[in-house]
Amino acid sequence: MREAMTTALDVAGLLLVAAGAGAAAFPVMEWAALAVSGAVVLAGSWLASRQTGRKGRGV
């Protein structure tokens, strides 16, 4: 149960960081700023899979 809660909080935090990055880039890039948010989520998923040793599976 504890691991599931930690994972849920990690996912929520990552999504908030992605939303913040997209919002910061929006005035300059307009709707292309969604790519910034996607890159943040992709990078977070990639880092999580590297740390746990699970290849091909993200957060």
Model pLDDT, residue 54:
56
Contacts with 58 (C-beta within 8 Å, 6 or more apart), sequence order? 44, 45, 46, 48, 49
The Cα 23–Cα 36 span in angstroms is 9
- Determine the pLDDT at residue 24: 92
Q: Is 52 exposed, middle or buried (0-12, 13-18, 19+ CB in 10 A)?
A: exposed
- 4 against 15, higher pLDDT: 15
pTM recorded for the entire structure:
0.67
Q: What is the pLDDT of residues 10-57, one digit of tens each?
A: 888 889 999 999 999 999 999 888 998 989 888 888 888 887 665 555
**Per-residue pLDDT, 53:** 63
Which pair of structure tokens corresponds to residue 15? 């999504």
